[in-house]
Amino acid sequence: MLFHVRMDVNIPGDLPQAEAAEIIARERAYSQELQMSGKWRHIWRIVGQYANYSVFDVKDNAELHEILSGLPLFKFMEIEVTPLVRHPSSVREDDS
């Protein structure tokens, strides 16, 4: 199943800089592992914001929830999820 996910990150200003840096490093490693596995198909930064649009390709809602809740920055995020389905006019065969 494909999902379009918007993630807005709001790290508290009073979080110690070293702690924030460590969480961000873990976030990067976790997200890159998911990208290499094919589960996190696309990620785009939203210009001027600490936010992104992503596309996930996972088995079901439960797997997506597990992935998202496992993000090290999860507790600092607002997340909006939209399920996707292949458009009948798509010329790409791998859009399922």
What is the domain class of 2-84 according to CATH? alpha beta
Residue 83: the pLDDT is: 97
- Alpha-carbon distance 41 to 2, whole Å? 9
pTM, rounded to two decimals? 0.91
Residue 95: the pLDDT is: 66
Residue 64: the pLDDT is: 98
Residue 71: the pLDDT is: 98
Helix (H, G, I), strand (E, B) or coil at 86: coil
Which stretches in the chain have pLDDT values below 70? Answer: 95-96
- Alpha-carbon distance 43 to 20, whole Å? 21
Residue 34: the pLDDT is: 98
